[in-house]
Structures are given as C-alpha cells and as structure tokens.
Chain A
Amino acid sequence: MKGYKDAKSEGSSAPAIRCLGVKKYFQAVHAVDGVDLEVMSGECFGLLGPNGAGKTTLVEILEGLTPVDAGTVEVLGYLWGTGDDHALRDRIAVQLQETQLADKLTVEETLRLFRSFFSRGHTVDQIIALGNLEEKRRERVHKLSGGTKQRLALACALVSDPELLFLDEPTTGLDPQARAKVWEAVEGFKLAGGTVMLTTHYMEEAARLCNRVAIMDHGRFLAVGTPAELVASLGIREIIEFRLNGEVAPVLFTSLPGVKSVERKNEAYVLKAVSIDAMLPALLSVIESQQARLEHLITRQVTLEDVFMSMTGGALNDER
C-alpha cells in the first residue's frame, strides 16, 4: 500500500483532474457539451446520470481514449497528447464499461498479463487477495459469474497500485451482494489515499462512495457538490406521503410549517417539507379538524434521486 501514500503526499495540493470547456460531438449528438471539472487528489468523484447522459464519453476523454473537440484536459498534471501519454497511463488505471476479458485465460493469467504492462504495482498474489479472488484463481474467465468478472476487471485496474482510478459503471447489472463486494474494494483503495472517478446511475452507489458528485444530463453538468450539498440545494429534507379516509382540500396543507409543496398523486397526498418536527403534529391536527382519518403515512428523507428528478424531470434509471 505504500504507493498510495507517496502519490498522496506528492499531489495533495494539486488537483488530480482539471477540465475546462470540454466538448465532444458525434455528428449531431453533443455527447459532452462544455464541462468544467476539478477533482482533488484523494477524492472520490462521481458522475451521476442516466444512460446517454455523456458520462462514458467524458470518462473516456479523461482516460485519454477519446480526443476532445474543444477544451483542455489535465490529468495528474499532464495534458493528454503532449509527449508522454505512456508515462501517464502507467499512473492511472481504468475499468471500462462492458470490457470482456479473454475467455480462455485464467484469473491469475489475466492479472499477470495486466501486471506486466505496468512499471510498478502489486504482486499477483497480493492483487488476488485484494480482489477476493483466491478461490477463482485457476478458473477460466468464461466460467466466472458476472460479479466475479466485475471483481476481476477491478483487480486488473488495481494491479498497478494506481494513483488515479477510473470506474465506468462498476456495478451495473450486479446483485446487491456482488455490488457490496465491489464497493468494499473501492473503499479500500480510497482509504489508502487513491483518487477515484466513477460513473454510475445508482444513487446509493454515489452516496456511499463519492465525496462529491456531478449530476450530468445531455452532456452538461446540472449540479456539482457533495451529496449532502446537492440534497440541501433542493431546500427540502423530507417527503411525506399519506392517504386519507375522507376528502381534504390540498390547499389546507400548504400553510403548514415548513411545507414547500403539496401534490395530489392519485389517492395519495405528497408533501415536501424542510423538516417534520413541527409539521407532523400540525398535519395531524388539520386532518382531524377536517373529520378525515389517516390511513397510511410514509416519511422519507430526500435523496440524490430526488435531486436528479427535480433537475431533469426523469428518473436516474430511465432508459433513453
């Protein structure tokens, strides 16, 4: 783990990634349409957005795989294409969406091969332990389950003990258990001081792993901040949903303390509020005064998903 510490002490003041006015068009599609971004060393930064938002294109630009149409991209203090891309690739690691590793090689052989490309890193034994792959060591790739394949892909990225790790939808399509294992590995890397840039369309993933998140749609950043900041930016903290036996005019709820909006969704009422401390007792008394009876009530805290929906008008997992 010593590599991480060196990297951190060297670059803790400088940003690991710095982008200015990055644009990438594919014919008429504005995949990335003017993005500014700064990711600090040791930070885990998440790109949150639906499919087709431009997350992958942006990440591949940062990885030096896709050239930009406009703007500048600086990674670990180096601009892609200015002489020594090779040296930069030695310091970063990448996990692409949907890469299929060679079917006929075993887990160990695959890791050996990837390790051989880098000038430094873990031994194969270390990385097998790190990726929790001991049991599958001699198994051929095509026999692995989806979760194990994903862990192997992550291990291939971590094999060089990189300073900066790019993960493009690392847990898409995995069951909750497999997802948790991937998260543990990423958290281990963060803990050791590594910088992470990840894309996801899972809100829980972003909330759990990321220090800061950018919400991206149609090639643009709609908002950037810590998950808490983004949630706070909505101006509400709680969502209360309830059903009544009896009719009460929604307008009667709008004046309750802390309530920002009231909606009628089929049978149910949906209130968005700053807090529920003062509001809930007041709500109950209004219901009582209208001779209605509360049948069902749920309160939940606002999440990144709500932030996303309020900004884009669509859900994160919507297919485009």
Chain B
Amino acid sequence: MKDKIMHPLIELTIARFKETVREPEVLFWVFVFPILLAVALGIAFRERSEDKLRIAIETSPRSVEISKLLLMDKDIEPVVLDAKEAGEQLRKGKVDLIIGPDKDVGPQEGETFPNKLVFSYDQTRPNSEIARMASQDAIERGLGRKDMVSISDNRVVTPGSRYIDFLIPGLIGMNLMGSGMWGVGFGVVLARTRKLLKRLAATPMRRSHYLLGFMLSRMIFLVPEVAVLVVLGWIIFNVKVFGSIPDLVIVSVLGSMTFAGLGLLVAARSKTIEAASGWMNFIMMPMYILSGSFFSYERFPAFAIPIIRALPLTALNDALRAVMSDGRPLYSIWLELTVLTAWWVISFGVALKTFKWQ
C-alpha cells in the first residue's frame, strides 16, 4: 500500500476525498448542519397532541358564558381579552381565533344567548380553521344541540405520515444537492484559480479521470452523509425506511451524481470563486423553496407543478420519499429517476465540452 502507486483515477479519488475531509467547514455543513436542522424542525413541527387551541373571547357581558361553553371541549383553551389585545395576539399567532359579539346586533331583551357571534381568524392558518369548527361545535353543543351521530375520536400517529417523516428525506435531498454542487464546483474552481488545473493539464493525466475522481469521491462521501440523517431520524424520531436500503442507495447515488454534474457545469468556465458562488446560489435557491424539501410543492399553483417536478431536487426528494416513506419499488418512480438521469447526462456532457483547464 505504502509505495504501491495505484491507478490515477483511484489516486485522484483518494486525494480528493482526503482534501474534503480535511476541511472542517465541509464537515460542519455536510454533517452537523443537517442534524441541527432536522432536530430543530422536528421539534418545531412535532405532533401537537398536548397543544390546545387558544381562542380569544372579546370582553363583553357574555364572555364568561361563552368561555364556559368552550371549556367543555378539552382541546380548547379560552382566554378573555379586550378587542385590541385579541387582535394583536391573533396577528402574532398566539391565539387561533377571536370570538366577538356582533357589533350591529346587540344582545336583545330577554335573550339567553346572543344568536349572532363573529369569528375572526386567518383562513390561511390550518389551526384557525380547526379552532373555528371546534368552537362552533362546543358552543352549539353547550346550548343543547343534539348530535345526529355519535363520533368517538381514535387518534393515530402513524410513523411514515408525520411531518418529520416528510422532512428527513427532504433534508437528505437538500444535503445531496448542496454537497454535490459545492463540493465539486468549489474544488474545481479553486484548482483553476490556483493554476493547479493548468499544471495537471500539463501531465499525461486523463482529463476525464480528474473529473471522475471528483464524482467518485462524492460517492464515498455520500455513504456517511445519507447514513447520518437516516440513522438520526430513526433513533430520535423513529423515522423508518419502508423501502429497501439498496433502493435508497441507488436513488442517493443518482441524485448525488446529478448535482455533482451540475456543480461541474457551474465550475466548467467560472474563473473566480465569487462567480461560481453566484451561479450556485442562482441554481440552488429556487430549488430550496420549490422542490418540497420543507413543505409540499403541491401548494403551488397547478400550472407550476409540472415545471417544479422537472427540477432535479424535486425529482430526488420525490424519489427519496417514495422509497423511504412509502416503501415503493424503483420501477414505480421511473419518471423521477429519468428526470435525474437526464439532468446528470446533460450537465456532465455540457461541462466536459465547455470545460476550461486554464
């Protein structure tokens, strides 16, 4: 081993790998940062079993009565506030709903309960919608409404369908994109600005070996990179991989190749680190938002969905989720795999054609 010089492709891969692991910043962004992100988001969006719906009741002669009715639903936490304070808390998301008296129709003589209430809430907030329905139910039931059907709640939390189950594959996808693009792109541009590329071009080194070395060292790196999130998700959040591990490996490798190819494309002609960073961000930023790493892209308008699904990160996230969360076989995600392969082939091909060694 010590003195046996191996094939240049292997030597290039080893050298590149050593360079990467000796960069402490890389280790932070690839390993520590995704873990912190997963933990932070996992906690922020954990199942809300013990969280109650906070409902503000505007101060009025009836507010105590309303809050008694609401208290009959144990998921509701009513608070009596003046109108100004209630509005403020709604804006900040501290309360989900404000129940106020109808200003136009004051309480009528001899009435036991105002037959008109105003519910104020932000309809884009899912909790507000829930609060609205729960409050209406509680008030009507308290006033004597009879349920036509008796419904008992059976609350199940299925591993595989929680937010964290959605998040972990998204983080893996995002991480593969980041490390693939930065890892390859920066390495190449740095070598160019340091005139190392030119020096290498003066040796009989095969140029394709150099670029493949980058790709292969990414492959080695990929194993701990994916494993750390999968294992962490499993230990802390009980996120299980429902599909097969080989399938997960195949999807990860393909995704990693694709982004290494894109990184190479950015680096093919960039003369400075600054130029390369600009292009990287230009390419990655939209995908961070659109590709469903943190929330489902189904929320975007229907016409945009096909475009979003053609993005490499979307394809990778969808493929990872299909394998990890849904346990689907590879043939069922042929479309995503094709999208990834197409991006890889095109970016790598164009990068090779346009690559500047000096």
Which residues of A come within 8 Å of B, CB atoms? Answer: 63-65, 86-87, 89-90, 94, 96, 98-102, 104-105, 109, 112-119, 123-125, 140, 156
Q: B52 on the interface (CB 8 Å rule)?
A: no
Given A116-B5, A124-B3, check contact A63 B19 (CB 8 Å). Answer: no
Give the distance to chain B from A70, nearest Cβ to Cβ, in Å: 20
Give the CA-CA distance A65 to B200 in the complex, in Å. Answer: 11
Q: B residues 323-358 with Cβ under 8 Å of A? A: 358
Q: Are B196 and A104 in contact (CB under 8 A)?
A: no
What residues of chain A lie closer than 8 Å to B5, measured between beta carbons?
112, 115-116, 124
What residues of chain A lie closer than 8 Å to B191, measured between beta carbons?
102
A64 to B, closest residue via Cβ: B202
Q: Please tell me which stretch of B7-15, B160-168, B280-288 contacts chain A, meaning at least 4 of its Cβ atoms lie within 8 angstroms of it.
A: B7-15
Besides the contacts A101-B199, A117-B200, what 9 more A-B pairs have beta carbons closer than 8 Å?
Answer: A86-B204, A96-B195, A99-B196, A102-B19, A112-B5, A112-B15, A116-B6, A116-B8, A124-B3
Give the distance to chain A from B110, nearest Cβ to Cβ, in Å: 86
Q: Are A99 and B3 in contact (CB under 8 A)?
A: no
A114 to B, closest residue via Cβ: B203
Give the distance to chain A from B11, nearest Cβ to Cβ, in Å: 4
Give the CA-CA distance A221 to B10 in the complex, in Å. Answer: 44
Contact among A65, A94, A115, A124 with B358 in the assembled complex (CB-CB below 8 Å): A65
Q: Are B195 and A117 in contact (CB under 8 A)?
A: no
Given A64-B202, A105-B19, check contact A98 B195 (CB 8 Å). Answer: yes
A156 to B, closest residue via Cβ: B199
Which residues of B come within 8 Å of A, CB atoms? Answer: 3, 5-8, 10-12, 15, 18-19, 22-23, 191, 194-196, 198-206, 358
What residues of chain B lie closer than 8 Å to A123, measured between beta carbons?
3
Give the distance to chain B from A224, nearest Cβ to Cβ, in Å: 25
Given A86-B204, A90-B204, check contact A99 B199 (CB 8 Å). Answer: yes
Give the CA-CA distance A103 to B202 in the complex, in Å. Answer: 20
What residues of chain A lie closer than 8 Å to B205, measured between beta carbons?
117
17 contacts between A and B (CB under 8 A): A65-B198, A86-B206, A87-B204, A94-B199, A99-B196, A102-B15, A105-B15, A109-B15, A109-B18, A112-B5, A112-B11, A113-B15, A116-B7, A116-B11, A117-B8, A117-B200, A156-B199
Most buried by A among B5, B6, B191: B5
What residues of chain B lie closer than 8 Å to A115, measured between beta carbons?
5
What residues of chain A lie closer than 8 Å to B199, measured between beta carbons?
94, 96, 99, 101, 156
Most buried by A among B6, B19, B203: B203
Give the CA-CA distance A156 to B205 in the complex, in Å. Answer: 13
Give the distance to chain A from B16, nearest Cβ to Cβ, in Å: 9
Give the distance to chain A from B190, nearest Cβ to Cβ, in Å: 9
Q: Are A94 and B202 in contact (CB under 8 A)?
A: yes
Give the distance to chain B from A101, nearest Cβ to Cβ, in Å: 6
Give the distance to chain A from B15, nearest Cβ to Cβ, in Å: 5
